[in-house]
């Protein structure tokens, strides 16, 4: 039976206030510091990924929870305006919408998040009919949503039973614990793992090492691992073969959300039937092109833009 949606995205949505770049250390003591740019935009790893996938032409649904407040309605409207079905984005009158402030400095950034509804999102927010009616299910920000994290193995199991593939982008663990036993259950139901280089090292249990080593170790636990490595591009491993792809030679305006746009491109390319080496180049181009403007969504590329900037046959096999 054909699915109504190409992609169901589960997880976080919040406004991002992005300020920067800072030219020195952040000053307290009621000091006012000026930066070159500031923006208010749609944020949250899951929400940015959903928008990127819709921009690439996928039919996308989103499931999650935000506050029944001005910020929550802003997020619902922003997702809808970008072509994402938000009927499963619940408005919670008892908790505020999450809010994130991003301070940029060079290629780095500091991220401050007030979690709000993130601690309340659970499997109850994800309609079973959406799990059954989607070709692929993606979840993001695993460590920020403890109730959802506990329910995610069963959600992924249900999706796979209905024929969907699954993917996970854990994002950072604010506690710094990276507890391996807690995540093993969801990795057992995950087809594609999408960490950045530092996250990959933590998930692989490598206090030091290379992204290649981490990808190889993680590919023993998940069928396909794609690791985002900033200006160095990206790599993926299927347990047998390591593939690498370069980033596009662009000077970034803002890298916020680039990894989420990469995720959208990788999943979109795989759902289109492209092999992993082509999907990796496509995704690397998506991440690079998303850095052309401030915020995670304003510069997300269309499929035609990505194809105009990359040769999909050129990934390196090692």
User: For the whole prediction, is pTM greater than 0.85?
Assistant: yes
pLDDT tens string 161-218: 999 999 999 999 998 888 767 799 999 999 999 999 999 999 999 988 999 999 999 9
Q: How far is CA 233 from CA 52, 211, 268, 276, 288, in A?
A: 18, 11, 18, 15, 9
Domains and CATH numbers, the chain: 5-26+34-317 (3.40.1190.20)
DSSP β-ladder status, 108-114 and 165-169: unpaired
| Tens of pLDDT, residues 79-116 | 999 999 999 999 999 999 999 998 988 778 898 999 99
Instruction: For 118-152, write each residue's pLDDT tens digit.
Output: 999 999 999 999 999 999 999 999 999 999 999 99
Res. 297: pLDDT tops 70: yes
Contact 100, 73 (CB under 8 A): no
Taking the CA of residue 256 as centre, how many other CA atoms within 13 Å lie in the half-sphere pointing to its CB? 32
Q: Beta-carbon neighbour count of residue 55 at 10 Å?
A: 26
Question: CA 264 to CA 16: how far, in whole Å?
Answer: 19
Continuous segment of H or E residues that includes residue 158: helix 146-161
Look up tokens 């916020």; give the residue: 256
């Amino acid at each position: 039976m054909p699915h109504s949606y190409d992609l169901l995205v589960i997880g976080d949505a919040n406004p991002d206030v992005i300020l920067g770049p800072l030219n020195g250390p952040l000053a307290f003591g009621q000091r006012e510091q000026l930066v070159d740019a500031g923006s208010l935009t749609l944020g949250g790893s899951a929400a940015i990924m959903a928008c990127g996938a819709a921009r690439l032409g996928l039919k996308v649904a989103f499931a999650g929870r935000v506050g029944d407040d001005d910020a929550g309605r802003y997020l619902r409207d922003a997702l809808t305006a970008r072509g994402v079905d938000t009927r499963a984005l619940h408005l919670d009158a008892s908790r505020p919408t999450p809010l994130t402030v991003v301070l940029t400095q060079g290629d780095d950034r500091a991220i401050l998040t007030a979690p709000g509804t993130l601690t309340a999102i659970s499997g109850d927010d994800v309609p079973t009919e959406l799990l059954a009616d989607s070709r692929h299910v993606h979840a993001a920000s695993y460590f920020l949503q403890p109730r959802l994290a506990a329910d995610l193995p069963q959600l992924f199991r249900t999706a796979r039973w209905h024929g969907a593939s699954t993917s996970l982008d854990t994002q950072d663990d604010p506690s710094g614990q990276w507890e391996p036993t807690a995540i093993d259950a969801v990795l057992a139901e995950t087809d594609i793992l999408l960490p950045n280089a530092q996250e990959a090292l933590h998930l692989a249990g490598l206090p030091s090492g290379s992204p290649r080593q981490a990808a190889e170790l993680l590919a023993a636990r998940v069928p396909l691992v794609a690791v985002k490595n900033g200006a160095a591009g990206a790599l993926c491993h299927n347990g047998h073969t390591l593939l690498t792809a370069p980033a596009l030679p662009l000077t970034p305006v803002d890298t916020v959300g680039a990894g989420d746009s990469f995720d959208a491109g990788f999943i979109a390319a795989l759902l289109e039937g492209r092999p992993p080496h082509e999907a990796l180049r496509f995704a690397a181009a998506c991440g690079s092109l998303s850095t052309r403007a401030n915020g995670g969504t304003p510069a997300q590329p269309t499929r035609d833009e990505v194809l105009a900037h990359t040769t999909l046959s050129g990934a390196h096999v090692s």
